[in-house]
Structure 1
Amino acid sequence: MKTAFLCVAAGVAALLALPFLLSQGLLNAAVQMLIAALFATAYNLLCGQGGMLSFGHAAYFGVGAFATVHAMNAVGGAGLLPTPLLPVVGAVFGLLLGSIAGWFATQRTGTYFAMITLAIAELVHSLAPHLKGLFGGEAGVSSMRMPAWGFDFGSTTQVYYLTLGWALLCVALLYLYTRTPMGRLTFGLRENSHRLRFLGYDVHGLGTAVFAISAMFSGVAGGLQVMSNESANYVVFDPSLSAAVILNSYIGGVKMFLGPAFGAAIMTFFGYAVSDLTQSWLLYQGILFVLVMMFMPTGLAGLPGMVRRLVQRFGFAQVMPLVALSCGAALSLGAGGVFLVELLRRVFSQDYRAAIVAGNDWPAVTLLSRDWLPGSPITWLVPVALLAVGAALAWLARRRRAALEAAEAVDAAAPTALEADAIVKEGLA
């Protein structure tokens, strides 16, 4: 517990110091990471803790966004709703829509629940372009952050601290919720809702409440998005946003409280940093999701815990070679895969085919600041060699893990010194 508290305190201190360490462009990316982390944490209350997989959580994010932007235009960031408190409007409208939608959706469970949430989100998404008075059509609705509490909120640094304050407050409230009796019952929904019903609990009412609370905090995230961008467009209802929060949550790890926040922050930064370098960044995100689901069911946030358990089980000196082999395999396989994908993408692009037609030759492809000839065997040997090395390291890592488990089994089966003495004495007698 003390270690977890120190890690959280160190993380908060690092977040507070970011404006002094990053440029304005990277600080704006940090704002988007905080918003995505809050959205994923709110979604995880429903999916990871409540066991209810929603395919349409962008609806509540979007409603919170539009409610906040209309409040910004209506009150001007003054009076009872100064600019720092405007995300409360997003929370209220997210709660209202979440209560209504949750009442219908939680009538069913499993696949039927997921389909109902998808249908509700698609309904809102299809209506938004036609309700121009509410959603502004293709142009959307714009506003401006107004001064309040001695701040003008004109700089990215002030917007960052405003977003950070709301994100920390909401994440803390969500964590405190998990420590309440209702939070414990939420875990019961995931584990065995039939048992809760047998014990006399109103399962439908509990599911509706969990859905509404998750939607409320999603509305706060939508409000913060508007505070950052000073505008809202019906694109926030797009199904891709609902898909993104699901991917981010599972990549981070839905069984850990901060896992989805970690996954959302990592993938948001990944998209910000890599989208300018390659058009295939969504492909890499999908590949990462598949690999996490296949080999790391606890998500990326579960890796430190996995290593800690291995150290407790086998010892530090025995585990470090296994970790080194695994990291080497991941790096080599990743480098080989990226090289191959980028090379194939360039070779099969329309521009490259046009260059072949114009020159009747296979021109060189620029990759990693170097020209590679697609007709040369060396060009294709590089990714093949990287993939082969990665596969070999992965095989060695599996062998190392199997050897450690076999040695542990032998040690467990071998009698202790006292047991051996007892066996000898019994034999002599």
Structure 2
Amino acid sequence: MKPFLKYAAYFAIGLLLLAPLTFGDRYANLSIRMLIAALFASAFNLLWRQARLLSFGHGVYFGAGMFVVVHLMRANEAGLGVPLILVPLAGAVSGLLVGVICGFVATLRSGAYFSMITLAIAELIYSLGPRWQALFGGEAGISSMRLPSLGLSFAALNEVYLVVLGWSAIGFATIWFFARTPLGQIAFALGDNERRLQFLGYGTHAVKVCLFALSAAISGLAGGLLGVAAENVDYTVFGPASSAAPVIQTFIGGADILFGPAFGAALLTGFGNVFSDVTRLWLLYQGLAFVVVVMFLPAGLLGSLFTKKTILTRETIAKAVAALLCSASLIFLCESASILLSDSYSSLRAAHGASWVSYRLFNMEITPTSLVVWGLPLIAALIGIAITWKVRGSEEAA
């Protein structure tokens, strides 16, 4: 590992331990969400990085962990008495059990067929959510509360953060250790050439089921941790957004790096926390970042740092400039359109006799009727597209 990356890792570990305990509940809550998202994305990447199995339905196992943990917390309120520090383990067990059943079916196929089966399972559970009142609580969901145990009240998020940090460390250690076991090495070989493994006599379906079950168990653990932190859950946790999140986070961080998905998940969780208060279009920009990274940094952000072939060339700089121009123009145009189509702006226009009035965007006074306001972003986008076209042509010629 490069020296600056090693010191960056030490700094990140220190920040994980000290910052949430020092700066209060807001940072503790953000750190909890980042750790859980990182663990979930890393669990998803077990399938892709080792066996090249792309799951579009991992929200099922994450949601199963959440529901089981909240039900267990409700049972604690009735007098069951399970220590809160052990409650997230129930999420891992539920994820494992559901993962074995669903994984046995899904791994009968590979490639796009596997992905479609996982998506179909997720849609099936999502459609059952609002109808199965006893288990999922209908559209309202279910809720509970953390009870004191082991001398801790768990009323403050700082105490919950320590539980999340401890179980997340166990989850990450499990992922790291599994990659070094004989079964983990067979899973890598399965991703390279499944037919060759079958020819050598290995039961590839059993390997895929084991890998799927482990991935589902760690996903259930992540869901269980979120259930402890949030104290409520509803059926929307099985929705498409829950399954899409680890996919986006993994490929932004770097799917072929062990902790690349954790980096991508933490980065995008922090991005959402900051920009959701600034703009309503933050999900659009998250998708835009995903497109840009996949197009120009296919190894991901963290993966590019560890790729020896990553060299700062003239073509790389040109691509970065093109991406910056296109992204900036798209952001400006989308924000302007969002303001012009909003109800508050329509009311403002009505108060001024239906005439166009200026608005503030990025701390600038914008006049909608000005050609410069719409012309400059469009010109910037065209320049970015032209640069991309030119660089691609030169690369194909070479």
- Name the counterpart of 1:251: 252
Quick one: distance in 1 between partners of 2:348 and 2:242?
37
- Per-residue CA deviation, residues 322-346 of structure 1 (Å, 9 max, x unaligned), is 8877766655554333222211222
> Are the counterparts in 1 of residues 129 and 139 from structure 2 also a CA contact under 8 Å?
no
Determine if the alignment matches structure 1 residue 196 to structure 2 residue 190: no
Moved more, 101-110 or 319-328: 319-328
1:39 equivalenced with 2:8 (yes/no) = no
CA gap of 1:147–1:21, structure 2 versus 1, over 3 A, is closer
Instruction: Classify the secondary structure of the residue corresponding to 1:41.
Output: helix
Instruction: Identify the residue that residue 330 of structure 2 maps to in structure 1.
Output: 337
Q: Deviations over 1:15-69 (max 9, x none)?
A: 1121255442232122111111100000000122221111111111111111111
Query: Following the alignment from structure 1 to structure 2, what is the Cα–Cα distance between the partners of residues 6 and 360?
Result: 59
Q: 1:330 to 1:293 in 2, by over 3 A?
A: closer
Tell me by how many angstroms 1:7 deviates.
4.7
- Give the equivalent residue in structure 1 for 2:340: 347
Question: 1:173 is matched with which residue?
Answer: 174
Matches within 5 A, 1:126-137: 126-137=127-138
Q: What is the rounded CA distance, in whole Å, between the counterparts of 2:345 and 2:73 in structure 1?
A: 49
Distance 2:324 2:18 in 1: 30
1:96: Cα distance to partner?
Answer: 0.4
Q: Does the 8 A contact of 1:248 with 1:264 survive in 2?
A: yes
In the TM superposition, residue 353 of structure 1 has moved relative to its aligned partner by 4.9
Contact 1:98 1:211 in 2 (8 A): yes
Correspondence for 1:182: 183
| C-alpha separation in 2, matches of 1:9 and 1:171 | 16
Q: Distance in 2 between matches of 1:21 and 1:64?
A: 29
8 Å CA contact retained: 1:78, 1:148: no
Does residue 96 (structure 1) correspond to residue 89 (structure 2)? The answer is no
CA spacing shift, 1:198–1:337, aligned 2, 3 Å: same
Other-structure match for 1:124: 125
Following superposition, the deviation at residue 150 of structure 1 comes to 2.2
In the other structure, the counterpart of 1:278 is: 279
Question: SS at 2:139's partner residue?
Answer: helix
For the structure 1 residues 158 and 192, does the alpha-carbon distance in structure 2 shift closer, same or farther, using more than 3 Å as the test?
A: same
Q: Which residue is equivalent to 2:373?
A: 379
Kept in 2, the 8 Å contact 1:77–1:145? The answer is no
Deviations 1:199-230 (A, max 9, x none): 11100000000000000000001100111011
TM-score by length of structure 2 reads: 0.89
SS in 2 for 1:220: helix
| Structure with max Cα Rg | 1
- Provide the rounded CA distance (Å) in 1 between the counterparts of 2:139 and 2:97: 25
2:237 maps to what in 1? 236
**Amino acid paired to 1:168:** A
1:364 is matched by which residue type in structure 2? Answer: S
Query: Which string of whole-angstrom CA distances, capped at 9 and with x for unpartnered residues, describes residues 360-399 of structure 1?
Result: 3211121123321011233235535655786799899x69
**Whole-Å separation in 1 of the counterparts to 2:345 and 2:243:** 35
Q: What is the aligned partner in structure 1 of residue 209 from structure 2?
A: 208
Corresponding residue SS for 1:269: helix
SS of 2:360's equivalent in the other structure is strand
Q: Which amino acid aligns with 2:338?
A: R
Summarize the alignment of residues 361-380 of structure 1 with structure 2, pairs less than 5 Å apart. Answer: 361-380=355-374
Check conservation: 1:77, 1:146, Cα contact below 8 A.
no
How many residues of Structure 1 are paired with residues of Structure 2 in the alignment? 394
Task: Note the aligned Cα RMSD (angstroms).
Answer: 2.9
Q: Which SS does the other structure have where 1:360 is aligned? A: coil
Structure 2 partner of 1:266: 267
Counterpart residue identity of residue 365, structure 1: Y
What secondary structure, in the 3-state scheme, does the structure 2 residue paired with 1:138 have? coil
**CA, structure 1 residues 95+293, in 2 after alignment: closer, same or farther (shift >3 Å)?**
same
C-alpha spacing 1:392/1:53, structure 2 compared with 1 (3 Å) = closer
Contact 1:135–1:234, Cα closer than 8 Å, also in 2: yes
Comparing 142-151 and 322-331, the one that deviates more: 322-331
Structure 1: gaps spanning 5 or more residues? 312-318, 407-429
SS at match of 2:365: strand
Does 2:139 correspond to 1:138? yes
Mean CA deviation greater in 367-376 or 387-396: 387-396
What is the one-letter code of the residue matched to 1:170? G
Correspondence 1:221-232 to 2 at 5 A: 221-232=222-233
Match of 2:354 in 1: 360
